[in-house]
Amino acid sequence: MTSEARHVLVLAGGLTHEREVSLRSGSRITEALRSEGLEVSLRDADAALLPWIAEHRPDAAVIALHGGRGENGAVQAVLEMTGIPYVGTDSWNCRLAWNKPTAKQLLQRQGLATATWYTLAHDTFRDLGANALVDALAGSLGLPLMVKPINGGSALGSSAVHETADMPSALVGAFAYGDVVLVERFITGTEVSVTVLEGPDGPRALPAVEVVPASGVFDYEARYTAGSTTYHTPARLDEQATGNAADLALAAHRILGLRDISRTDAIVDEHGVAQFLEVAVSPGLTETSMLPMAVGASGLHLGRVYADLIEQAIARGR
């Protein structure tokens, strides 16, 4: 089926901390889809959205929203209510994948590797005493540690802790983004990002993208300042480790019930074991994002990939 006449809604913006990234993703995928001949309406997820959908009834939607409603299943649920087919994971599974500790737990139960972690709410620190709990965390997990909000991407609110004394400020930084944090053991190794693309023949892993931030930390600045991180696609891993990273991403895609396209972030440790960090159900599509790099390294075009996913979504119904 050709997609020439398709009218696609691209959703970008939102009111999340990642609005700026989302606007850039939305702009990029809009351009890519238009170059494939699709008619694209780029819109924000705001109070005008539902009346617009009712009036225009697009053939399908692409969600380029990051964080919050764009990834926690809310916008997906709204699209399901309207009957507009969309690219990506359904609302139920978004809600699972969106919660980092839940995703880790589901994968760990299936025997996949992920750094040992604890999930703690702010009131736990308040009620039990922060100092005692910080000491207990460091004692149990060892240093260094990663502290991050349980939701959201772009490494916002995330930081590495190398000394116990730095833990309070890391926790304060993470709690600015939400009331619950994930504290996990810091894994040293090769940081990779693996995109899984699901077509008629099932899901397949695209080449892993290895990230090497100049500062040593893949934080917001390193992600979105061109030139501050070196990317290797495919990752500089041996054959077995490459396979491990791909297998992990495919397993995450399957176990978490992800659909169409997903991105799994992982660390390949010194033994070649791929340790799961998190998944993105609505991965970044900006100039410095890793999904477009993986697509390019596979000899594919971003617009064509999404145009095919749009047809797949329409064929699926919703």
Partner 1 sequence: MPGTSLDQHRDRYAQRTEGMRASAIRALFAVANRPEVVSLAGGMPYLQSLPLDGLAEEFGQLVAKDGLVALQYGSGQGIPELREQICQVMALEGIKAHPDDVVVTVGSQMALDLTTRIFCDPGDVILAEAPSYVGALGTFSAYQAQVVHVAMDDDGLIPEALVAAIEQCRAAGRRVKLLYTIPNFQNPAGVTLSEARRPVIAEICRSAGVTVLEDNPYGLLGFDSTMRRAIRADDPDNVIYLGSFSKTFAPGLRVGWALAPHAVREKLVLANESTTLNPPVFNQMAISRYLATFDWQSQIKAYRQTYLERRDAMLGALAAHMPEGTTWTVPDGGFYVWVTLPEGFDSAAMLPRAVSARVAYVPGTAFYADQLGSRQLRLSYCFPTPERIVEGVRRLAGVLDGELEVMRTFGTGATRAVRGPQSPSPDTA
Cα–Cα distance measured from residue 40 to residue 303, given in angstroms and rounded to the nearest whole number: 12
Q: What is the nearest approach in angstroms of partner 1 to the Cβ of residue 139?
A: 18
39 among annotated binding-site residues: no
20, 80, 247, 269: residue in contact with partner 1 (rule CB under 8 A) = 20
- Closest to partner 1 by CB, 210 or 260: 210
- Among 25, 193, 282, 289, the active-site one is 289
Q: Which of 17, 43, 95, 259 binds partner 1 (CB under 8 A)?
A: 17
Q: Are 91 and 97 in contact (CB under 8 A)?
A: no
Distance CA 84, CA 53 (A): 9
Regarding 126 and contact with partner 1 (CB under 8 A), the answer is yes
Pick the closer one to partner 1 by CB: 91 or 228.
Answer: 228
Range in contact with partner 1 (rule: CB under 8 A) among 3-11, 97-105, 227-235, 237-245: 227-235
The phi, psi pair for 40, rounded to 5°, reads: -120, 135
154 catalytic residue (yes or no): yes
Closest CA to 160 of 225, 222, 220, 219: 219
> Among residues 105 and 298, whose Cβ is nearest to partner 1?
298
CB-count exposure of residue 284 (10 Å: 0-12, 13-18, 19+): buried
Tell me which residue of 173, 287, 295, 187 sits closest to 234, measured CA to CA. 295
Asked if 172 is part of the footprint of partner 1 (rule: CB under 8 A), the reply reads yes
Size of the site for partner 1 (CB under 8 A): 45
Question: Does 100 participate in binding partner 1 (rule CB under 8 A)?
Answer: no
Q: How far apart are the first and last CA of the chain?
A: 17
Binding residue for partner 1, selected from 86, 98, 117, 125, defined by CB under 8 A = 125
- A 10 A CB-CB count for 7 gives 13
Instruction: For partner 1, give the closer residue by CB, 59 or 278.
Output: 278
Q: Which CB contacts under 8 angstroms, 24+ apart, belong to 136-143?
A: 137/167, 137/183, 138/164, 138/167, 141/116, 141/117, 141/183, 141/184, 141/185, 142/185, 143/186
CA angle centred on 301, ends 299 and 304, rounded to 5°: 130
Contact between 177 and partner 1 per CB under 8 A: yes
Work out whether 164 is an interface residue with partner 1 (CB under 8 A): no
Residue 61: which of 90, 86, 28 has the closest Cα?
86
Instruction: Considering the complex, state which of residue 64 and residue 313 has its C-beta at the smaller distance from partner 1.
Output: 64
Interface pattern 207-226 for partner 1 (x via CB under 8 A):
---x-x------xxx-xxxx
Q: Which is the catalytic residue, given 3, 22, 25, 154?
A: 154
Chain centroid, CA 8 distance in Å: 22
Go through 271-283 and write b for each residue having 16 or more CB atoms within 10 A of its CB, e for each that does not: ebbbbbbbbbbbb
Q: Which stretch binds partner 1 (CB under 8 A): 197-205, 231-239, 257-265, 301-309?
A: 231-239
Using the rule CB under 8 A, is 245 a contact of partner 1? no
The verdict on whether 289 is a catalytic residue reads: yes
Catalytically annotated residues:
18, 154, 289
Q: Which residues bind partner 1 (CB under 8 A)?
A: 13, 15-21, 23, 46, 122, 125-126, 130, 154, 156-157, 159, 168-169, 171-173, 175-177, 210, 212, 219-221, 223-233, 236, 287-288
